[in-house]
Amino acid sequence: MDDQERDIIGSIDGLVAEERGLRDRSGKDPGLTAEEQARLRTVEVRLDQCWDLLRQRRALSEFGQDPEQARVRPADEVEDYRS
């Protein structure tokens, strides 16, 4: 694992923690504010982008290509993937 991957994983860890905190608050009365709901959606999208970037880098490395060629894809692109 290189420094870039460590940074991406660090970002993922931070976003997961934030997502959990927001989800925990969403189940309590009075729930999330409109601003917090928007932030949750932003966090979800950013997580998808980070995971996609990490997968790209690993795939490029696996096939002998430069992982630095991986790029963050637009939200609408990564959000349309099917698991």
On whether the pTM is more than 0.85, the answer is yes
pLDDT, position 20 = 97
Q: At 66, give phi and psi (nearest 5°).
A: -80, 115
Q: How many domains does the chain have?
A: 1
Is residue 1 scored above 90 in pLDDT? no
Q: Give Cα separations from 69 to 5, 21, 53, 56, 66 (angstroms).
A: 13, 33, 10, 9, 6
Can you give the residue range of the structural domain that contains 74?
3-79
User: What's residue 52's pLDDT?
Assistant: 97
Residues 4 and 57 sit within 8 Å (Cβ to Cβ): yes
pLDDT the model gives residue 21? 96
Read off the pLDDT of residues 22-79 as tens digits, 9 standing for 90 and up. 999 998 888 999 999 999 999 999 999 999 999 999 999 999 999 999 999 999 999 8
